[in-house]
Amino acid sequence: MRESSLAQSLAIESQIRLPGSAGRLLKQIRDIESVAPIFRDAGLVKAVDRPATIDLTVSGIATHSCIKRALGGFIFASAAVRTDMLIDANRISTCGSDSVAELDDIDFEAQRKRLDLVEMRQAYVLAERLLKSSVASQLILLDTPLFIAREMIPLKRNVKHWQEYEKTRTAIATFWENYREQLFPWNPQGAVLVSVVAQRFSAIVSIARQDLRKEDGRKHLLLSDGFDQDQANQLVDLEQRLSGVGDYRFIKGILGAFTRTMAFRMTENRARMEPAESVEAGVIGFHYRGGRSSEIQMAQLAGEESDWNTDTLNAVAWKLMVLDMQGQKMNTPLPQLLGQQQLRMLEQFTTYYRQGLSNAMKENEIEETWLSGLFGEEQQ
């Protein structure tokens, strides 16, 4: 049998497979292009107009956390930064900021999941401070989910994780109990609290593959956002036509510049979220895309079908799109992008904190056998 090098094997395989792969990919693109106009006509994808002159006040909250080894264990730092921004006749300026931080040691139990909960709690702390202040923002942006997803809820036997969950759950429930009536849509003049998260496409893709001719298939959609049943009836055999098309390719194919999906209920196609008493008032979402070079994002809002319509949803969407475009391909609304720049110091500050911890322990009369070999970890 004739031997061949890896380069030869790859060259032969590519020549054999290339035509078939190209053909399948082209077919997927054509399939998406064929259904995209129907999605628009049925109201499942909507063009969003934006004003030529923009006047907007917005507060963006960015969060970050990190973990470092120290003295045979771990330390963590978590922080959130709020940046207040004014856009006056298309002129952009910052007009205020706030922050909160937490540093401490942490054991090994579910570190990342616990810090996700800490970040959510810190984001709500800054949102509460804003609502208590004299700052009047039309839009308050979070980079954490509005509510705690089922996969973030720990088992009670994980004691430290459960304690962190309970603290965050209580903080979120208290916030919505105290401030819901100050926020839009419950207060028509109130600020809109919106969570902006990237690349969670499964919700709208799953909805698109339902039989929208049936009531059960439409239960996820906010029909108040404008839905054309006659056009949607053309979306037959969509599951078969889009078989093998990935979620990202699908949604990127149907969303052009300055478009969004129809809003959908996030409580219908997901396991329960907490706090349940806060979620009862409804949670909705939509995907949107700003400029042609912008990435697709998902906006999460509190409320139900009776609270939102196409006009109010578009009013939120164009603001997010404009802020996303100002972020210059960073896939983050500009106020949060500025907050992320401040949060870059967190890693370095945690290193300083670790060094200070080491020095403090060295100054105490601790047996050398306890400390030997531990300080070498500080270089990691």
Q: What is the mean pLDDT of each run of 10 residues along the chain (380 residues)?
A: 80 84 74 71 86 94 93 88 95 94 87 94 97 92 94 89 95 97 96 85 68 74 83 65 68 86 79 89 92 85 94 96 68 90 92 81 58 52
Predicted pLDDT at 369: 47
- What is the structure's pLDDT at 17? 84
Report the pLDDT value the prediction gives residue 196, as an integer from 0 to 100. Answer: 93
Q: What is the pLDDT of residue 49?
A: 93
Predicted model pTM? 0.85
Amino acid at 224: S
CB 182 within 8 A of CB 224: no
Largest Cα span, the chain: 81
pLDDT reported for residue 208:
67
Tell how strand 56-70 and strand 91-106 pair up: unpaired
What pLDDT does 237 receive? 62
